[in-house]
Amino acid sequence: MKELSELKNEFYDVMYKYEKSFSEDGVMADLTAWQTAKADLISLLLNDATYESSGSLSAKQSLLIELDNGLVYQFTVKNDKIASCGTWSCPEFFEAFEAACE
């Protein structure tokens, strides 16, 4: 996973490019909040997802999750279902994901 300082610098690059204002305290607060939310989201997937089938989903959306060890999982997403090594249902994940993005 990228260090917060690296993410902060990438964020600064984007903000400078589009000439947007920001504060360092606000940026770090947002990055820290997202890092915490990401851990909670991963925990939901690991602990609360329900296995539905060995089949896959046909969808136009995907979700990438990078773990702390650098491993990146790619999931196919459709409604409240996630597919990767089978199809799983986890409505709680999507509710928490939406809340984390607000």
Query: What's the mean pLDDT in 68-74?
Result: 73
pTM of the model: 0.47
pLDDT digits (tens, 9 = 90+) for 8-65: 788 778 878 887 777 888 888 887 887 777 778 778 777 877 777 776 677 778 777 7
Two structure tokens written together for 10: 């990438």
User: What pLDDT score was predicted for residue 29?
Assistant: 82
Torsion, CA 29, CA 35, CA 41, CA 45, rounded to 10:
180
Asked whether residue 2 carries a pLDDT value surpassing 70, the answer given is: no
Q: Is the model's pLDDT at 1 over the cut of 60?
A: no
Crossing angle (nearest 10°) for helices 24-48 and 91-101: 180
Q: Report in angstroms the alpha-carbon separations of 4 from 30, 57, 88.
A: 11, 34, 31
User: What DSSP string describes 3-59?
Assistant: -HHHHHHHHHHHHHHTT----HHHHHHHHHHHHHHHHHHHHHHHHH-EEEES-----
